[in-house]
Chains A and B, each alone.
Chain A
């Protein structure tokens, strides 16, 4: 179905993005493309519908063929009947306002006969399971629903290959499972070929026929068992299997549970050490409520944050996590309630004082950056924060090594950009640090280094709150988990009890080891050489 022979991609006068890529994908395969950020995953995906080189420019050598059609001469718009491609943020690709008209848009442009169009829309609504959403406005849908509508919108053109760039990165665990179940059905029942890029392999690896590992522009392809063990990509289940020497390596929780039932696994002494004793309460919220129009986004939330603890704030998309963080920061709306940070309300004090009380790293960090170079951003930050020149730049060096000061902030990788905004926020050190979905788009290494930095900050007495969908991150990072639903805090407790107790938010190790309360590899005694 898909044939890449000796393919190389380079941008004018730049280094090669991809080199010597040979890849063969059979019809009906589900292929996962994995690798660190900036390794060339997106470029590889865009080759498959001709966006590279026709839309983005660049120079392609070698041959790319999909179903015998050469992509060197065919434009993406003429590939729509063969390759359906969904971008990273599906909402950015929506053209109309309603679900049904969105599904029909492509066919209207191609002049498909009305009767055929009607039939295909009905079929697609059932195929991706969105028939009950057909009359809804697109902007009222949850992120998971939007993702499925975007898949439906490319499917109406009748493609045989579906290409998706990080389809679940912005979704809560339940929304992600809905999208992946839809994709699995398209592969198994319809026989579509699916190629998708993903960072969180734990979600998709049991569905994958093959994994393509992109590393510095070169690819290796093979079954998940061949590719994953021993790499930074390996999801917890594979790490566990590697550490215990299981063969063949199980990929699903079910297979791993069967193996675990036969093995003798012991926990390490006191389960990863008792959580650090919490310091004094730094932030006290009482009755905090936020309304957006007629919707109660946050309803009367009482929350205490103590110095030295890391709190994971979890919940479905739209459960009020972001609204709560902005209200605690004192910038977002707050219609009722009080926020007290050591006797002061961050809403009522001057901006320069407020940022020393509560710091917030927003979900879209690019909103904060507006200068041409990293050095300029750091210098402006020093002035904004009222600290001596060079403070922010020094801070940035402790967060990531070697960022060239002359780089444009947009040219940084996701991890470097997050570090820059974190440095801007920490220039005047806040008592309480809030982060909204910081790991979106971060690869494994960037995530590990973020976890280490946040633990350091907590050790120095800062209260850290991380709103996240990533249960593996919560298991690695948090002392305490606060679960929100419909704007209310529905559960609040120690991370271990919370994460091992709920099926929706349990990390992989917890699912394998249930009912035993182990949730990280570090919780298990794995013989002389501990897990990587």
Chain B
């Protein structure tokens, strides 16, 4: 059963939310295992990319733990005392408490679970496939993104080729020797791409043109999303600001979709929204709700000095999130 790419992304984003709500090491470990299992069953030919996400996730856990050892907090019972080093105002090493180690590991695990959930979405559903299903009103935006994603790998290859060629001359060509041919090559390629797209009827005038207000709304939504992302990372902004910005962006996008009467763009072989997609989204939502509602707060975010404990709900919720494993995997595209 082919699951709609959007369903996988919703599934992954809900799991990111669930991971953000808990620091319980056992629950997080279960979530990570479940995500890995789903990828191994349903992954497409980009399943190999998941390894990269695994490496990043593992290094996040290691880094967070090492930080707790290098920069110790002065609380808890020390389990290990390292000779301390003072560099100016910095106190390095010294006593390491079990509490610090545990909070380092669980904090790292939480980030790792989020990274792996996003990585899983990337391996389960091609982002390009997802963009294809964007509403016609956002067609310009999604086409631009599709091209950017497809063209970017060419740019890295071009940098490699030019640097290799520069070594043929034996001398030092420096930044300029790389930058000029790469940019010239990119310029040539984008002109060739534009010519090819135009020759294939891209942006043809047959059909109605889109209203200007709609273009403005799409632009507005994009800008609002930018603000929201900034607000999320800047502590000085109130915590409701990103939510409000996202809300406005959704309204703008919705307005653009309603205004779009041209509906010129069609989708070739769209993936249907099947029962499998409902199951996938449902499982994730159920698991997240279960985790929030049925697991007591002291289990979900245990005090840092306690070895984490589990309840039945805490055990079952991640397993529910993994139930898309039971769906029959779709045909994988030959690479």
Q: Which residues of A are at the interface with B, using a C-beta cutoff of 8 A?
A: 49, 51, 55, 75-81, 83-89, 92-98, 100-101, 104-114, 117-118, 121, 135-137, 139-140, 150, 153-154, 157, 326, 329, 331-332, 351-352, 354-355, 359-360, 362, 364, 366-371, 380-381, 383-385, 410, 424-425, 428
Contacts and interface: CB of A to CB of B under 8 A. Distances in A.
A81 B164 contact: no
Contacts of A112: 266
A329 B168 contact: yes
B266 A117 contact: yes
Given A77-B204, A78-B204, A384-B170, A109 B192 contact: no
Contacts of A150: 196
A80 B167 contact: no
Interface string B178-221: 01110011001100111111111111111100000000000000
Contact of A96 (B146, B166, B335): B146
B169 interface: yes
A51 B196 CA distance: 10
Interface in B133-151: 143, 146-147, 150
Contact of A118 (B165, B189, B192, B269): B269
A150 B142 CA distance: 22
Given A114-B268, A364-B165, A368-B165, 12 more contacts: A81-B201, A87-B192, A93-B192, A95-B147, A110-B206, A153-B200, A329-B168, A331-B164, A351-B167, A360-B168, A362-B165, A383-B171
Given A109-B204, A355-B170, A87 B196 contact: yes
Interface of B: 126, 128, 132, 143, 146-147, 150, 153, 161-162, 164-171, 173, 176-177, 179-181, 184-185, 188-189, 192-207, 263-270, 333-335
A111 B264 contact: yes
Nearest to A367: B165
Contacts of B194: 55
Top 3 A-B pairs, shortest CB-CB distance: A93-B196, A384-B171, A80-B201
A96 B195 CA distance: 15
Contacts of B200: 80, 84, 105-106, 109, 153-154, 157
Nearest to A157: B201
Contacts of B188: 92
A140 B334 CA distance: 11
A212 to B, nearest CB: 20
A385 B169 CA distance: 8
A424 B169 contact: yes
29 contacts: A78-B201, A81-B201, A93-B192, A93-B195, A93-B197, A95-B193, A96-B146, A96-B150, A101-B132, A109-B143, A109-B204, A111-B265, A117-B266, A118-B269, A154-B199, A331-B167, A351-B170, A352-B170, A355-B169, A360-B168, A366-B181, A367-B162, A367-B166, A370-B176, A370-B177, A370-B179, A380-B171, A381-B169, A383-B171
Given A108-B268, A113-B266, A153-B200, A385 B170 contact: yes
B211 to A, nearest CB: 17
Contact of A92 (B173, B193, B202, B207): B193
Given A55-B194, A369-B181, A114 B265 contact: no
B192 A384 contact: no
B193 A93 contact: yes
Contact of A77 (B176, B205, B335): B205
Contacts of A140: 335
Contacts of A55: 194-195, 198
